[in-house]
Structure 1
Amino acid sequence: MKKIVIFLATFIALQANAQDFNAETTTGCVPLIVQFTATSGDAWEWDFGDGTSVAYTNPINHLYTSTGVYTVKCTIFYSDSRPQQIVTKTNYIVVNPKPHADFTSFNNQSCDPLNVEFINISYDNDTASLTYQWFFGDSLSNDDTSSLKHPEHFFNNYKYYDVSLIVTNIFNCKDTITKPDYVKIEGMSGEIFPDTLIGCKPLRVNFNFNISGFDHKDSYKDTMILFFDDGESYVTEFVGAPLKHEYRKEGFYIPLIQLISWFYNENTGKYERCIRGYIVKDTIKVLGYTVDFRIENKQQEILSDGIKMLKPNDTAYFFDESDITPKDLTLSYKWNFGNGDSITTFD
């Protein structure tokens, strides 16, 4: 008889323990999705503690949209003669508040490189405990991020920047805000590519361009001026179109393009002008030349009538007297003496 009592007590205990439910998570940030699972029964009725209830579903997902501490109740029904069971878990689900991330600035648009002072207007129930992580979208910078509340960042390159802010509170709840194209460094940028860098005068050079930021408008038109560095220039509204120029005088030339563009400043409500200049990376060298030489014999007498004054088996000395401009060029030589011989030395 003693063995039977022990068996029945064990059975009743196991049955009682099986009447339960659990949650995939019990703590989180609003909005919080929780999956509840009952461990027994054939039908269920759930009371999530926030004024909503659902019947006959197991497991079930529930969305908590407000912060607070919630008591959850599950009524378990059986298809046999066993009575229904009610399992209640008091203060079971804790939904923590999430901070609100936001920021602004006084000036976020300019033609020139710009230092932006960001104003953090994020808030929370306990704003003093918030932590911050900024991303300025400036991949070319060495300090593209900051953890300060009100940081500054210098934007040096001509482009639009997406700025993001992540705010975290004491419950490790986060809010993120990203403002696309928030910082705008306006205007055009460009490169010049001459197809010829050295040659004799007159030298014709074709110029090609790589221009970014050009905006075709009916008014406030963008303009490109090409200064050839020889006193001449060319103005065009066909920004980036190839141009030709002929250099008629010897010398070294460094052409320059000036890009003039207009943008509407959202901060001032006015159109403003950007002017930027870019030079050719390599110098264009235009050569002027007069080829000449003189001849001397062993006695260093100048042979004014050329080789007619030389005797058989006599030696003639040839000296270059060419006038080549610019003077600092590295030149190559080839002499042909009329007898089938040639050399490539200077004299």
Structure 2
Amino acid sequence: MHKAKHLFFTVLFVFSGIGAYCGHIIGGYLSYECIGPLANNNSLVTYEVTLKLYVDCGPSSSPNPLFATISIFNEFDVPEQSLSLSQTNIARIPDGSFNPCVVEDTTLCALEETYRATITLDADEPKKFVYQRCCRNVVIDNIPNPEGNGVTYVLNVPAYTNLQNCNHTPQFTSPPPLSFCKDFGLTIDLSATDQDATDSLAYSICAPLNYSSKNVPAPNPANPPPYSELPFLSPQSGTNPIPSNPQFSIDQNGILSGQPTQLGQYVIGYCVEEYKNNVLINTVRRDIQIIVENCQPIITTAVQDQEQFCEGYTVDFENNSSSNDLDTLLYLWNFGDPTTQADTSRLKEPTYTYPDTGEYTITLITNPYYPCSDTSTETYRVYPLLDPDIDYFGRLCEDSNSVSFAASGQFEPYATFEWEFFNASIGGSTSDSVFDVSFNDLNPEVQLIVSENGCEDTVLKNISFFPNPIANFTYDTTEGCYPLPVNFQNLSSPQSNANFEWKFGDGNTSNAINPSYTYNQNGYFDVSLIIETTDKCIDTDTFKIDSAIYTSLELSNNKIDFEWDPKIGCPPLKVDFSEKATYDGKANFIWDFGDGNSTEGSSVSHSYSRSDYYDVGLMMITSERCIDTLVKTLDSVIYVQEKPSALLLVSDSTKSIKEADFTFDGTQGLEYTTSYFLIDGKKFDGNYLNYTFNDTGHFSIQQILTNNLGCTDTASAEVFVYDEFEFIIPNIFTPNTDGINDYFAPKGIGIYDYEVEIFNRFGEKVFFSNSFNIQWDGRIQGKKAQSGVYFYTIRVLDFNSKYRTYKGSLTLLRE
């Protein structure tokens, strides 16, 4: 039996600023982290202060406070201000570490309440943070007057300027323990870490600091230093707070060890001293109320009794062990296999496969190697698996049956068999196989008993018989011209797997269930379906339809026809042809144009270049359906008329611009009624033309002849008129408006740019022009110039891009 672990805390606490509060505080500690100097003022440093309070969460607990207050003292231990910490988190504290010989107390419950706030302090002044509360739980066994003694948590805050850096208190890595087991040695990690890598930590068991004023349970401000340690009842002390052997101690890695020897509830405190450069700068004290109780489990180890013996070499073991704390049990199985050292398992309910038949001793140890272990043994006999079954085959038809049987499954070669057949042609057999048994019932039962190694197993199996297969089919097309596709639908009703054979009447077959078949010849065709079942009721049936399919070109819709346009015209005559055929499936078309040319296509065009009458033929070759070749030929359906023959003779092929007179003779043309010429976009009727060109370049001349049928022919020629330079300047002109020599008008050919200036005998410019079309009329500013001698300067650009300048005199003569 074991004693359940329970914590009972009944102390009344009063929180400053929040009124009366009934709680059960069982420990805690104070810590801080340095956030750093203010960004705009290095003389002020911000700290985050954290208070951890451990409280009972049993059924008598009250709501938790939302705030806690600490006092801040200067280096002269004078209180300067109070800081209110807000509650930021509540978490349950886990209880202890795993020990299979310890029964965990599931009723034990404690919470860690976290309070935090930030404060900004002078960088060059050291401070103290102090939190005080009264009082402790009345059931504590190692201190006097627990209801009159409380807690004081103190932290030193070194001046930032003295350290020239932020300082952080050590932070504990795990929550505190809540309970110890009497007479069980324990090892618990109570270590802490420090953000300051250069700091060193030292651990010790130490007395918590006391606060003993029931009248003021939560002073604000807190009492100033110095603070006394919590008194302990002899023989216990702050360094030996719990009766133990060996005595509790903590090493410099923060590991607490010892073995409690007396039941009860005890306060234990432990200190972490923080050193910087071998100088002690702070001490963090954490205390917790511990319950020491009996934790011995009650364990009964048991392996299940063997009830089945022919289950094979693989055994699934059941664990029937019992304990008052099953969740903490450990197991060690030994399966008694002498052929191997690997016949062990630590699973709760393992599976093991033995190498052979035999008798084995099974050993199960709970909590092996622990003082609370227990052992159970059981003898197991292992035989090969006996798991028979019945296989059967044969004709399983309703109209008749003949069934053969064979023992299957798992059994040894020396097994014995006992068959029993009910209402059958034989009553039973002792062989492993029985052949050709017939039954009078449609759902008979067969029994097989197989025996070996003193084991026996019985198999009962009902035999089912099935209807005989019936062949039947339908199809979607009965007649047409080939190729004729036909879709067949199988309407047979087999009750099992079956093979199908279709015979299409033309020598071809198929084994598909629902085939599609194409007939490629003409005739009448018988179609049959043969069904053969391959299991259950094995039987064959045939269904046949005579002359089911008829194919013939007489059923074809193929017709050939075509149209064309135009039917008559002048060469070259382009004619468009289009098929107007009807057919099933696809068709190719081949055209014969009657002039030795042919082509393929449904719509084509062809040009006739020679005058004549032409026959036109079309061949249609069908495919896919109603395969056939049809030809249609029409005689003399295209008439290409005669056309005139043009012949153009040219007097010269090239001339200069000075004498660009040409003769075009088209009188040699034949078979025409009208003729005209086209020169530079101009039309000239007739068959003979004299023409003078007024510009240089290459010129195309066409003569177009037309006959009485409207057919035309064109003859073309090209002449070249080349440039030549000549410039004539008159030396006298008579501007008397008689229409003769009224202007000073130079003349020339081969000139591309022209500029003239005329001066009087005083060198004054009296006329200017840059165009042959603007000539001097003998006036100066609108008035008639006097007769006399004038002087000119003419600058021209010839057809070779060469500038020429002419200077001279001219005479203006007025009569």
Q: TM-score range by the shorter chain?
A: 0.3 to 0.5
Write 1 or 2 for the structure with the bigger share of helix: 1
Q: TM-score, normalised by structure 2?
A: 0.22
**Higher relative contact order at CA 8 Å, sep ≥6: structure 1 or structure 2?**
1
